Amino acid sequence: MEHLFSTFSIKGCQLKNRIVMPGLASFLIENDGSIPREAIEHYRLRAAGGPAMVIMEACAVSPEGIVSPHQARIYEDRFVEGLSKIARFMKAEGTIPAVQLHHSGRQTSAKVIHRQPVAPSPLPCPSIRGDVTPLTVTGIQELVNKFGDAADRALQAGFELIEIHGAHGYLINQFLSGFSNIRQDAYGGDIPGRTRFAQEIVREVRKRVGNEYPISFKISAMEFVKDGLNVAESIEILKILVKEGIDVVQVSAGNDATPEWISQPMFMEKACLTDFSWAIKKALDVPIMAVGRINEPLLAEDIIKSGKADLVCIGRGLLADPTMPKKALEGRLDDIRTCIACNTCMQSIFKKGRVECLVNPALGREKEMAFHPAKTIKKVMVVGAGPGGLNVAWVAARRGHDVHLFERQPQLGGQLALGSITHYKKGLRKLIRFQAKQMERFGVTCHLNQEVTPDTLRDHSPDVVILATGSAPVYPQIEGIDNTLVISINEALDEHSRAEGKTVVVGGGPTGCEIALHLSEKGSQVTIVEVLSKLASQMESITQKMLLRKLMENNVSFKTNCRVLRIEENGVVIAEKEGGQMTLPADQVVFSIGNRPENGLFNQIKSMGYEIHRIGDCLEPRSAKSAIYEGAVLGRAI
């Protein structure tokens, strides 16, 4: 990967390779804006992993510009000390410390800032909604000055590059875009008018930092909404800003109405924004940073080699594995914990107010999840090679335990292996490969094709038994459930099965919808029957949006607020909410209505005197994320 690991220069910044971590909210900042040790460690670890530059998350330049109570701030001198610690630790690890300056504009809530959000025009945020206060010219000038003050503080803190956040539906983007700016004065109308606010900010920041200091600008080159920015307009905007002193451009996409283009789910192609970065690179004479589901070193190498960008931004990939650059440089590609674009990070932000990762349970818990050698070496038997079993096995082995993993199937992965059959979830196979590599590295002994019984325990005499036996599908007790029309989820997802004719999928949760999409793409005419009013209601919102769109594109029919009464020879009889009944013709029927724990082995051996633990679905059917996290915690504890 000679291109990815070649050096590069942006003014006085000498980059050791072409990998940049873009600004990503850590949600580790305290409510008062102070920087705790967890946030410092988060950035130190990302810097230590080998990227050339790390851009610290968006720092609010003004109190009303905060998008979350956990956002970093830079609008008062008291924040400089904490920010300087992050910059100092990043630099000590050999990485260029950079920082992003930000104002949310209308894309925040009155509950967060205790006043109406400001905006260029009296148009509310389409995702948050609520009244906004249009900025006066005086208000605009005050904010320009606040960006300048923030730049002064960034210099004091020791950051060596400043990025101005002009993307993703935030305030500067709101001024740039006809989607959100309907002003009739000097700050609206045509492209020069809509660019004036950004132009004045760049000019002010340049005045504060001097001519030799590098400035980046992040833009949503395509917004994918009516009257939103497109690449041609973005090029004209950037030409104006380059004249004012922009040295490098990060090319992103999307806004508050099209978040799927900001944090691309697994349904979208990898590196899906690089054609935009390439078009802008050909039009401008400044370096270009590409972003957008670039999750693998070989993919990043191709982008640099092809000339589509000068630098690659890897964000979620460095949340999943902060050591990715070093591992890639050393040729340890199978040892990389790859981001699978499940958007668990996004879901956890909105539901828990913190960033979590399905594949990396240590994210945000780096100190808590540090590895320590086991005080007493034990023989550990892990039963089940699904996500939880795989994770607990190698974590325990890394600490020095003698770990034996038993799996009744001939391959590793459990539900992960089954889920990876659909083309948009093939990334799960890399997670399985990563777990398998760690087991090999730390000496886990695998026993495949072996059913565990009480006799197995007596033969192996473990000190600790960990059950990760997963769960089994639930089938309703209805007439016709044994009909040959009914096939299992395994049969429905079998790579070699044919999907012809009509299929009824009973259960419109995430799994049912994914099965329906898979079968529809293979040629079946699919109908989903769901007892609730909405489909995939427990799924992360961006992924849900894309999945439902894909289902509609593939002509999948939905029957919500309906329940199955019985299975007949040629179809499924359902009851509708209004009280009527109808028959859905079917050549096959798949039930995806939930799972029950596979805990029979626990009941058999709990009286045998062994130290026994359960993790994952065998305790309670949940998610792969829960199983991996529980495995990570238990593996560090035994």
| Cα separation, 253 vs 262, whole angstroms | 6
Give the residue carrying structure tokens 């709101």.
174
The answer to whether the CB of 277 falls within 8 A of the CB of 189 is no
Helix locations, 220-288, DSSP H:
231-244, 274-283
| Cα separation, 423 vs 127, whole angstroms | 30
Amino acid, res. 615: I
Q: How far apart are the first and last CA of the chain?
A: 40
| Cα separation, 473 vs 275, whole angstroms | 43
Catalytic residue among 43, 170, 424, 629: 170
Within 8 A by CB and 6+ apart from 435, the residues are 387, 390, 391, 394, 412
| Cα separation, 239 vs 579, whole angstroms | 63
Largest distance between two CA atoms of the chain: 83
Which CB contacts under 8 angstroms, 24+ apart, belong to 224-229? Answer: 224/253, 224/254, 224/258, 224/261, 225/179, 225/255, 225/257, 225/258, 226/179, 227/177, 227/178, 227/179, 228/177, 228/178, 228/179, 228/255, 229/173, 229/176, 229/177, 229/178, 229/179
Strands (E), 234-274: 248-252
| Cα separation, 402 vs 425, whole angstroms | 33
Nearest to 247 by CA among 280, 220, 285, 275: 285
How many beta carbons lie within 10 A of that of residue 578, not counting itself?
7
Is 170 a residue of the active site? yes
How many beta carbons lie within 10 A of that of residue 134, not counting itself?
14
Nearest to 113 by CA among 46, 64, 44: 64
Within 8 A by CB and 6+ apart from 155, the residues are 208, 209, 213
The answer to whether the CB of 366 falls within 8 A of the CB of 452 is no
Helix locations, 309-464, DSSP H:
316-320, 324-329, 344-352, 387-398, 415-419, 427-442, 454-460
The answer to whether the CB of 512 falls within 8 A of the CB of 592 is yes
Q: Which two tokens stand for residue 399?
A: 């600490």
Helix locations, 284-419, DSSP H:
297-306, 316-320, 324-329, 344-352, 387-398, 415-419
- Exposure string of 241-276, with b = 16+ CB inside 10 Å and e = fewer, is bbebbbbbbbbbbbbbbbbbbbbbbbbbeebebbeb
The answer to whether the CB of 472 falls within 8 A of the CB of 431 is no
Q: Which two tokens stand for residue 317?
A: 């990939």
Across the beta sheet with 581-585, the strand order is 562-568, 571-576, 581-585
Within 8 A by CB and 6+ apart from 19, the residues are 4, 50, 51, 52, 53, 300, 311, 312, 314, 325
The answer to whether the CB of 361 falls within 8 A of the CB of 388 is no
Catalytically annotated residues: 170
